[in-house]
Amino acid sequence: MLIHVTTLGDYLAKHNATPAVKSVIATLTHTCEEISELLKRGALADILGEAGNQNVQGEEQKKLDVIANELLLNALANNKYCAGVASEELDHATAANCGGEVLVLFDPLDGSSNIDINMAVGTIFSVLPYNNQGQTATDDDFLQKGTEQLAAGYVLYGTSTILALTTGDGVVMFSYDPNLRQFILIKDRVNVPVDTKEYAINASNYRYWLPPMQRYIDECNAGEAGVRGKDFNMRWIAAMVGDVHRILTRGGLFSYPFDTKFANKAGKLRLMYEANPMSFIIEQAGGASSDALNRILDIKPTSIHQRVPVVLGAKNEVEYIKKLHVEMG
Ligand code: AHG
Ligand code: MN
Ligand code: MN
């Protein structure tokens, strides 16, 4: 029996996006296949453990943060459409090809605390237009709102390797077939239900949250007897890619809210290569994404590594959290 499958290549060939966007998506996803293969070999490929240095944000780099970053950088440097790249693991943006038409931002390895315990990690990417073609790209060229994104996606290295992708026309999902060495389409209209009974948050930070977020979680935890009138379930993967993937699969609410744990940090997640691409994906799947009050995609970035509070997923929950923040000031 011949089973017809749609590969990522087939999908892109028919899809309405510019050659530049299609080409960088192909480059990114090919590189993620390599990262996926390395992860599968784990300790046998000597990729686990600390790299022994810190990134620009003062975080300890894991070996795989560095390896994934270099693989992506090298691949994109050889893509003529790519004018520049920005990464969690680079202090500043790096110019690629000045004739390029797009800029690519990525978190090469999201959830890196999960690497050494054999749990889910991912790669997140965002593609922006390059508006100074012919000139060398600088950090300033990247500081565009999330609404300007031409494409966004993530690859989740879980029990299987999954790609979720948007170019502004809904969200499609692919699963990597290691035998065919191809991403195969598995879902072509991903939808996030407007309501949910499941939330994801690092509850150990409760004492650092603002009162409206404490109230929201208190109300969820009060269950059927409380004002929400229903029992909630909690899940936390410690990799945004994993938590967002669960929401695209069975709905839910994810938050890494504002907290006072560290001075001068508005939140933990980075606007340009975590919150923006994930917000684009979630909105394209019918969900919502905010910093508790404002739409993430409308925030004008001021720096590449800027952090932002994140509340995303089921539309009615995101709106309810905003209502609590407005009412409680
Ligand atoms: P990264 O590994 O790229 O630094 O990102 C990890 C982020 C995010 O993916 C996740 O939701 C969060 O950090 C986990 O934070 P906790 O350590 O508070 O669980
Ligand atoms: Mn991350
Ligand atoms: Mn990372």
CB 245 within 8 A of CB 239: no
Residues 92 and 213 in one domain: no
Buried b (16+ CB within 10 A) or exposed e, 175-209: ebeeeeebbbbeeeebebbbebbbbbbeeeeeeeb
Which residue among 240, 245, 270 has the greatest number of ligand 1 atoms within 8 angstroms of its CB, and so is best to mutate? 240
Q: Phi and psi at residue 140, in whole multiples of 5°?
A: -60, -35
For the domain that residue 220 is a member of, what is the CATH number? 3.40.190.80
238 lines ligand 1 (CB under 6 A): yes
Neighbours of 231 (CB within 10 A): 13
- CATH number of the domain that residue 93 is part of: 3.30.540.10
Domain-located, residue 212: yes
Residues 178 and 113 in one domain: yes
Report, as ranges of residue numbers, the positions in the chain whose pLDDT lies below 70.
1-2
Number of domains into which the chain is organized: 2
Is 202 annotated as ligand-binding?
A: yes
Residue 317 in any domain: the answer is yes
The pLDDT of residue 255: 98
Residues 6+ apart with CB under 8 A from 94: 73, 77, 84, 85, 86
Residue 14 lies in a domain: yes
Same domain, 128 and 14: yes
Residue nearest to atom 16 of ligand 1 (CA): 238
Does residue 1 fall inside a structural domain?
no
Same domain, 125 and 245: no
Is 60 annotated as a binding-site member?
no
Cβ burial 59-70 (10 Å sphere, 16+ → b, else e)? eebbbbbbbbbe
Q: Based on the fold, state whether residues 34 and 159 are members of the same structural domain.
A: yes
**Cα distance between residue 120 and residue 237, in whole Å:** 8
Distance from residue 260's CA to the centre of ligand 1 (Å): 16
Domain of residue 83 covers: 8-189
User: Does ligand 1 lie within 6 Å of residue 259's CB atom?
Assistant: no
Given 170, 189, 208, the domain boundary residue is 189
| Cross-strand pairs, 73 | none
Cβ contact 212:292 at 8 Å = yes
215 and 85 within one domain: no
- Please identify, by atom number, the ligand 1 atom nearest to the C-alpha of residue 107: 3
168 within some domain = yes
Q: How many CB atoms lie within 10 A of CB 78?
A: 11
Torsion sign, CA atoms 161, 164, 165, 169: positive
The helix (H) or strand (E) run that includes residue 23 is: helix 19-41
User: Considering 189, 215, 250, which residue would you say is the last residue of a domain?
Assistant: 189
- Asked whether residue 115 falls in the same domain as residue 250, the answer is no
100/220 same-domain check: no
How does pLDDT run across 188-202, given as a tens digit for each residue?
Answer: 999 999 999 999 999
Angle of the 19-41 helix axis to the 63-77 helix axis, nearest 10: 150
Q: Report the b/e string of 303-323 with b at 16+ CB within 10 A.
A: ebbebbbbbbbbbebbebbbe
One domain for residues 32 and 155 = yes
If asked whether residues 230 and 172 sit together in one domain, one would say no
Question: Is the residue at 2 inside a domain?
Answer: no
pLDDT of residue 82: 98
| Residue 17 to residue 31: CA distance in whole angstroms | 20
Q: Is residue 218 domain-shared with residue 133, that is, in the same domain?
A: no
